[in-house]
């Protein structure tokens, strides 16, 4: 079975607005702002997605070839896992992912990226955490 990346939605609160995503890690209180390409990848990872499937869908949505985005997507999915926002799964990828309606002209591609904010960690972290969430040991 193909390995996919899936969002850790059990402790990540997120909202995608106009293609950009805002995420809060409820365990740590760290929050993130994703650019439009990263927001699209996050939308796909909410179900689970492979690098190949994400790259193919991004190439259809933005003005870029699948081959040109493959390394960017893989790197971004690795960053999501490193931040604890996503994990590897063996479950099959979604077969249908709805893309937002495209304007007449495709938007320009930019590498998927996010900004990480730690200034409100104490306010955003759940204390006590949600049932079933393990508290990190210092």
* Number of Cα atoms under 13 Å in the Cβ half of residue 29: 14
Percent of the chain's residues with pLDDT above 90: 33
Look at 48 and 72; give whichever has higher pLDDT.
72
Convert the pLDDT of each residue in 15-24 to its tens digit: 988 778 999 9
Cis previous bond, 41, omega within 30: no
Positive/negative CA dihedral, 7, 12, 13, 15: negative
Band (135; pLDDT cuts 50, 70, 90): very low
Note whether residue 127 is domain-resident.
no
Note the pLDDT of residue 23. Answer: 94
Note whether residue 41 is domain-resident.
yes
Note the pLDDT of residue 49. Answer: 83
Convert the pLDDT of each residue in 56-69 to its tens digit: 889 988 888 999 89
Note whether residue 39 is domain-resident.
yes
The range of the structural domain enclosing residue 101 comes to 4-119
Number of domains in the chain: 1
Note whether residue 69 is domain-resident.
yes
Q: Three-state DSSP class for 7? A: strand
Q: Parallel, antiparallel, or unpaired: how do β-strands 12-17 and 4-7 relate?
A: unpaired
Band (110; pLDDT cuts 50, 70, 90): very high
Convert the pLDDT of each residue in 26-57 to its tens digit: 888 899 999 999 998 888 887 778 888 889 88
Note whether residue 126 is domain-resident.
no
Q: 76: which residues sit within 8 A by CB, 6+ positions away?
A: 38, 41, 111, 112, 113
Note whether residue 131 is domain-resident.
no
Note whether residue 60 is domain-resident.
yes
User: What's the whole-model pTM score?
Assistant: 0.78
Note whether residue 133 is domain-resident.
no
Average pLDDT, the chain: 80
């Amino acid at each position: 079975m193909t390995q996919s990346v899936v969002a850790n939605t059990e402790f990540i609160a997120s909202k995608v607005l106009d293609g950009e995503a805002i995420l809060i890690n409820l365990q740590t209180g760290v929050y993130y702002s994703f650019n439009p390409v990263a927001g699209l990848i996050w939308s796909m990872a909410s179900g689970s997605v492979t690098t190949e499937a994400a790259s193919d869908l991004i190439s259809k949505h933005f003005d870029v070839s699948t081959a040109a985005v493959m390394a960017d997507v893989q790197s971004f999915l690795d960053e999501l896992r490193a931040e604890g926002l996503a994990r590897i799964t063996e479950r099959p990828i979604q077969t249908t992912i709805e893309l937002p309606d495209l304007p007449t002209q495709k938007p320009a591609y930019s590498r998927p990226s996010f900004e990480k904010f730690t200034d409100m960690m104490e306010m955003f972290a759940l204390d006590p955490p949600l049932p079933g969430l393990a508290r990190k040991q210092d």
